[in-house]
Structure 1
Amino acid sequence: MLTIIDRYILKRYLATFTVMLFMFIPIGIVIDVSEKVNKMIENEIPFVDIAIYYYNFTVYFANLLFPIFLFLSVIWFTSKLANNTEVIAILSSGISFTRFLRPYIIGATIVSVFVLLMGFFIVPSASEGFNSFRYTYLKGGGKQAMRGDNTNVYRQISDDEFIFVNSYNETTETAYNFTLEKFNGDQLDYKIVASRIKWNPKDSTYTLYDYTKRTVGKLNDKIERVPEKKAKFSFDLEDLTPVVYIAETLNFGKLVEFIEKEKERGSSDINTYLVVFYKKFSIPVSAFILTLIAVSVSSMKRRGGMGMNLAIGIAIAFSYVFFDKIFGTLAEKSTFSPLLAVWLPNILYTILGYYLLRNAKR
């Protein structure tokens, strides 16, 4: 059962966090508008598209920067409690420091669950709209720029089928120097080669040019050659080069299916997708870690007052985001474990939080 003090602190926790969000998001929008207004005018972007973009912008960056907003909000109102000697009064009444933390933990739980659900269901849609607008109107290259490396693509599309293309053109939906190999165990069953393969959206088929199919026989191979042939395959041509931010746009269930599919195909971008997946859990957990650190830093009076607490808080918050980005990029660009990379900042700052909490109790 929550006491009056619990409700008081919990109310301040949630209210300050909400106010912090509504204070900084408009500032972010104003800065973004000032940077992009010229391109928006040049490209004659419809007002409706701009309004939708800034809705997605708000959701996307609120989720991305929520650890900083949460940390600063806890530092802010806890420092005010300390400067007004309210913390001393609460602890002097016989309440232990651990018991004093209970409303903070409850508040962190509420925020964490909210961020977790947003990350599963709301943020993916916002991410898709946000990135699609940027690549369509603001960045050069359009759809082609939204794709990853589209040269020398090699994929496993089933347990016994492999495809290779030398290059892929998103605009014409055409792949060049196409090869499909079908195996039966360790033995090659047949091999299809074409100079180019084009997707036909009307009937969901492919047109292969300079088509050659070699079927391996026990004694002699059977070879079929035709200038042009239509065929159906079990893969989507678009799957050869997924959108670079595809993992960010999928809800939890679809993301799990997508990652399993990409693992079977031997995707070179699998670490990028795993980083996105693991962050859906690590970011909400950071609410607890940063809350404990913020309370430990700001629950005592310091020379310099609230300003000193905020300075320490800003340094810790930005260092957390810095390490989170560094380790995430390291996992995406190397063989470093994505799971370890995503959770390492939380582990390091949990140790820091434990050390600060012990000192605060004293």
Structure 2
Amino acid sequence: MKKLDIYISKNFIKSFLLSLIAFINIFILSQLFKIIRYITEGRMTILQSLTYILYLLPKIFIEVTPLAILLGSLMCINKMASNLEIISLKTSGISFRRIVRYPIIISLLISCIVFQVMNKVYPSTLLKSRALRAGREISERVMPITKKNAFLRTEENIVYYIKNIDRVKNSAETLQIIKLDKDFKNIEEIITAKNAEFDSNKNIWKLKEVVINNFKNKTQKTKKNYEDITLNKNPSEFITIQGDPDELTNAEIASAIRNIRTTGGDVKEPMSVLGKRYSFPFASFIVSFLGLSLGSRYVRGASAISIALSVGLGYSYYIVQASFEALSVNGILNPFISGWIPNVIFLGLGIYFMRKAEY
């Protein structure tokens, strides 16, 4: 790294940190009225309120980092432009892309930090902050005792539908069990039962008031009691641990998605959260192109313009990102595609302005 790179990098990091601290303070101040109300209502003590603010810091850091990168980029390069340093460097044959190389690399590293915070730190602190706000003890997630409309597909190509299941009582009401062929195309048998109990010793469901429709033999039978050794799925396998996807790590969300798909649930919300986890952290890297290129020309009253540009462009990104996130939650777009569309749009704008800054 040359002296020029060290000089630019130091100024960029300094501008970024000042912007980050300023935005974090603004967000904390916006929460103070709520916190004061929690204290006066007796929902929190002063010590708990301070802990609550600490738990909010990862969330605030994630949300304001793109704005801080944008403003820091504008301030750093605009200061150099106002001192005629940019013009001097260009005149000496150094391209603008060469000038901003290290700020862009630093922005990428900051994006990687945001990714790790969003994955490993944010979920646990969000869970704890919500517990404090609700005035309850922080506890481990527990598996629900009952579930309605439970689905499960087994490796033996058996599909269960159970209207009500209780994993503690090992009981179920209104069952429909569909057996398919090995290619999972044709239905061989449908078994319906009014209720059932799971025998833990035999590891088998004992069905009651049963109707068996065999499509291979084209027969129908009714039985008061029925047992089948292939019907051996434990009630706990029909129920997954419930929770807000935002409170889970990436690995836990991926695992939850697999479990939800197995039990026939809706995966749009956790998929949307996972898509955002892999796209939003890199907004900091992408907006750096905009900040660095737009700050390259000296303009009188640059500080006010820098702040206005950073706020305007930053919130434009958030609006576009939220719009595409809504499309993914509604199942209109793939969550990973919708998460990266805003990044691609703003990266395209950044590259365009970066090319303009060369002249």
CA distance in 2, matches of 1:213, 1:66: 61
Corresponding residue number in structure 2 for 1:184: 179
Conserved in 1, the CA contact under 8 Å of 2:240 and 2:259? Answer: no
Q: Which amino acid aligns with 2:352?
A: Y
CA distance in 2, matches of 1:128, 1:325: 22
Normalised by the length of structure 1, the TM-score is: 0.77
Does residue 299 of structure 2 align to residue 302 of structure 1?
A: yes
Conserved in 1, the CA contact under 8 Å of 2:286 and 2:346? Answer: yes
Conserved in 2, the CA contact under 8 Å of 1:120 and 1:280? Answer: yes
Report the Cα offset of residue 281 of structure 1. Answer: 2.1
Corresponding residue number in structure 2 for 1:265: 263
CA distance in 2, matches of 1:18, 1:178: 59
- Which one is further off, 292-301 or 176-185? 176-185
CA distance in 1, matches of 2:239, 2:281: 36
Residues 114 and 336 of structure 1: CA distance in aligned 2, closer, same or farther (over 3 Å): same
Residues 355 and 61 of structure 1: CA distance in aligned 2, closer, same or farther (over 3 Å): same
Corresponding residue number in structure 2 for 1:59: 58
1:325 to 322, 341, 344: 322
SS of 2:357's equivalent?
helix
Report the Cα offset of residue 132 of structure 1. Answer: 3.7
Corresponding residue number in structure 1 for 2:14: 15
Q: Which amino acid aligns with 2:72?
A: S
Corresponding residue number in structure 2 for 1:33: 32
Q: Which amino acid aligns with 1:259?
A: I
CA distance in 1, matches of 2:39, 2:164: 36
Corresponding residue number in structure 1 for 2:285: 288
Report the Cα offset of residue 31 of structure 1. Answer: 2.1
Question: For structure 1, which runs of at least 5 residues remain unmatched after alignment?
Answer: 144-149, 198-202, 204-210, 226-230
Conserved in 2, the CA contact under 8 Å of 1:10 and 1:103? Answer: yes
Report the Cα offset of residue 117 of structure 1. Answer: 1.6
Conserved in 1, the CA contact under 8 Å of 2:175 and 2:192? Answer: yes
Conserved in 2, the CA contact under 8 Å of 1:181 and 1:188? Answer: no
Q: Which amino acid aligns with 2:210?
A: R
Residues 47 and 181 of structure 1: CA distance in aligned 2, closer, same or farther (over 3 Å): farther
Alignment of 1:135-214 (within 5 A): 136-137=134-135, 153=149, 155-156=151-152, 158=154, 160-165=158-163, 178-185=173-180, 186-188=187-189, 190-193=191-194, 212=208, 214=210
Question: For structure 2, which runs of at least 5 residues remain unmatched after alignment?
Answer: 140-145, 181-186, 201-206, 215-219, 227-232
- Which one is further off, 121-130 or 212-221? 212-221
Conserved in 2, the CA contact under 8 Å of 1:43 and 1:137? Answer: no
Structure 1 stretches of 4+ with a deviation exceeding 6 A read: none
Report the Cα offset of residue 360 of structure 1. Answer: 0.9
Residues 189 and 313 of structure 1: CA distance in aligned 2, closer, same or farther (over 3 Å): same
Conserved in 2, the CA contact under 8 Å of 1:119 and 1:280? Answer: yes
Report the Cα offset of residue 158 of structure 1. Answer: 4.3
Q: Which amino acid aligns with 1:233?
A: P
Conserved in 2, the CA contact under 8 Å of 1:10 and 1:106? Answer: no
1:345 to 342, 347, 350: 342
SS of 1:220's equivalent?
strand
Corresponding residue number in structure 1 for 2:203: none
Normalised by the length of structure 2, the TM-score is: 0.78
Corresponding residue number in structure 2 for 1:147: none
Conserved in 1, the CA contact under 8 Å of 2:240 and 2:256? Answer: no
Q: Which amino acid aligns with 2:91?
A: S
Deviations for 1:55-104, whole angstroms, at most 9, x for unmatched residues? 22111121123211221121122222221222223323321112112111
Corresponding residue number in structure 2 for 1:234: 236
Report the Cα offset of residue 164 of structure 1. Answer: 4.5
Q: Select the structure that is richer in helix.
A: 1
Corresponding residue number in structure 1 for 2:204: none
Deviations for 1:183-207, whole angstroms, at most 9, x for unmatched residues? 3222446445459x9xxxxx9xxxx
CA distance in 2, matches of 1:232, 1:70: 51
Report the Cα offset of residue 30 of structure 1. Answer: 2.6
RMSD across aligned positions (CA): 3.5
Conserved in 2, the CA contact under 8 Å of 1:60 and 1:130? Answer: no
Report the Cα offset of residue 118 of structure 1. Answer: 1.5
Corresponding residue number in structure 1 for 2:212: 216
Alignment of 1:66-77 (within 5 A): 66-77=65-76
Larger C-alpha radius of gyration, 1 or 2? Answer: 2
Residues 259 and 151 of structure 1: CA distance in aligned 2, closer, same or farther (over 3 Å): closer
Conserved in 1, the CA contact under 8 Å of 2:257 and 2:271? Answer: yes
Q: How many residues of Structure 1 are paired with residues of Structure 2 in the alignment?
A: 324
Report the Cα offset of residue 332 of structure 1. Answer: 0.6
Corresponding residue number in structure 1 for 2:275: 278
Q: Percent identity?
A: 20
SS of 2:94's equivalent?
coil
CA distance in 1, matches of 2:19, 2:195: 58
CA distance in 1, matches of 2:162, 2:47: 41
Report the Cα offset of residue 341 of structure 1. Answer: 1.4
1:315 to 306, 312, 315: 312
Q: Which amino acid aligns with 1:156?
A: L
